[in-house]
A and B are shown apart, each in its own frame.
Chain A
């Protein structure tokens, strides 16, 4: 499952980040494997999305969210 498929109210853990330059930027913003994520907001027209991390909120586009693999947790 990828981050773009995450729905409101579910929590997930990032398992892998694909895409070379993108992954570096995401790591620096605190989106790295092992982090707990949650969908926070969806912008008008359904893109981009804002993601709650444990300590911050970061927004990214759907196409980039597709590069982030996640695993749902209950």
Chain B
């Protein structure tokens, strides 16, 4: 019977156009999720091959070989190795960069030797041609013995050919390249008993990778290796060099034109400037400044539109739904919370866009190159810069991105300090607080002062991150050789479609991921803030209604009194009581119980702060949820104890610093637990960051007050 569905794995080196091909095949018909039980990002999609047949495709992380040196390479290896694995593919589409064919084919031969059917897809032939390299595909096929398809993933050329060959069952062939004849056959037999009996290469390869672990199996494997005096690294080196010989033979056989005279390519010229010895770092900083300026000014209008749209919607709901608890809950609970956060979507999307552009252009690798020497004394590595910059968008995927760092200590330090980079969830908080410190239109020369202060906040975060890293360097003991070997890919113009897909993925993750938490928190908060111990609430109500209902009271006084009543009711509510309970702890930082509630709800996610403040202030007002409104309300808040405004410059500065340092993000805690595979590190990280935030806030508040 014919299969209705087939599973295809997409494998290749980093920077070979894998993402472009994946997007070209699936379009928006894909999803990003996690492998069960792990935090490993899994990109899967599907597309129709014919009216009755669908292909499911899984995009595996780019890797250079099947001997994984870093955690992300391990995933690719794990899936291809294990036939009983859920995602084990019916066949592999191996995509190779034709302009760097030799190195790309190394992984190809390793994958093929696992006896999984492979189709070789050659991409970037145009780049190769520009460098004077051209291949005779028929001759290449003779040597590599698998179907070969030439495509241009960027232009979506050749995609149909891939679909056609996926339908052709006869094209599903396996090829073999490396022979194990030099290895003692008894050793292979013994290993095959423990591992995979089917494929000897796979069994040996798995044993080599597994022998680094501390499991019982590893101890047994190491005993076997010892018994036969098997030199593990020597074998791997020999394997790689032998494979290169086989590849060299095939590539030379098929090459038509040879490299003539290497002209200085555009990449070389651009690199002369961007990675310059003296001003490379300055260019990087200027670029960052431009990113923040743009992020701040370009988001102004979309922000206003969203705000306006939501206000219209809120008004509509408020006026259509019958008055009562449901109306109240939706308007003052859910919509108030959501409005506070959705208005920041434009900024967050812009930030993700800029990071995606820098990544796709190929600049991010250069930043690693120019920053490696600077990062080293702090116990990190040039590759740490990618998680750190990514941390400005979101710590969660960035902590996952730290997997590319081979050295365990450098990786751990990077994970521990990445949350100090100001993430996009802090943006709403920063923006709100900065706008309370300064007029919106404040300029300093050509720069928007808000943008500058925002940049300053990011720099403070970065500074705290590297100083903490330096400190952790002395506490984490580990003697593993560290190296920094990184490919600097050729510069590319980013593909608009790839960028749009990235933004779509990140934007929807923010709206639906954060949105869920925010709605939940808003509802709970609304309930807690609008109910309380019955007697207290009633006392307040009786006290005020008597005066308000008195005919001699003027309208303005009535309004004033009803606001006062609401404020006292909030104070008497469960949320108020709770906030009061923690107030003594946060008072030294200049925070009152309202901020206390917001700090607690922020534990779910930082951006909830704004939503919470919005909900708290909305519970007792007319349903105006706009951003400007909560600002006015916070500024007008009077501390009943002192009779002065509750919040002053010192409070706002103290809050800013608190949010810059504190680890108020459950997702980060969860991901650190998974990535470090321990409870110890997330706990240490949480305590450290909380102490840092508390201490710094205390200092700032007392300096400015």
Contacts and interface: CB of A to CB of B under 8 A. Distances in A.
Contacts of A32: 240-241, 244
Contacts of B102: 30, 55
Interface string B89-104: 0000000000111110
Interface string A39-72: 0111111111010101111111100100000000
B484 A48 contact: yes
Interface in B355-400: 369-370, 372-374, 382
Interface string A1-39: 000000000000000000011111111111010000000
Given A43-B275, A48-B484, A30 B241 contact: no
B100 A50 contact: no
Contacts of B237: 23-24, 27
A48 B372 contact: yes
A60 B244 contact: no
Main secondary structure of the interface of A (DSSP, over half): mixed
Interface in B194-235: 233
Contacts of B268: 40, 52
A58 to B, nearest CB: 5
Contact of A59 (B267, B280, B486, B490): B486
B484 A28 contact: no
Contacts of A30: 100, 102-103
B488 interface: yes
Contacts of A55: 99-103, 131, 133
A41 B272 contact: yes
Contact of B369 (A23, A24, A43): A43
A28 B100 contact: no
B106 A45 contact: no
Nearest to B267: A57
Contacts of A46: 277, 373
Contact of B485 (A25, A40, A52): A25
Interface stretch (B45-53, B62-70, B500-508, B530-538): B62-70
Contact of B69 (A25, A42, A48, A50): A25
Contact of A28 (B65, B271, B374): B65
B485 A43 contact: no
Q: Which of B244, B272, B278 has the most CB of A within 10 A?
A: B244
Interface string B275-297: 11110110000000000000000
A50 B277 CA distance: 12
Contact of B240 (A28, A42, A44, A57): A28
A42 B406 CA distance: 23
A35 B253 CA distance: 18
Nearest to B66: A28
B275 A41 contact: yes
B487 A56 contact: yes
A48 B268 CA distance: 17
A27 B99 contact: no
Contact of A21 (B233, B241, B244, B486): B233
Interface of A: 20-30, 32, 40-48, 50, 52, 54-61, 64
13 contacts: A26-B485, A29-B103, A29-B487, A40-B268, A41-B272, A41-B369, A43-B370, A44-B374, A45-B373, A46-B373, A48-B382, A57-B267, A59-B372
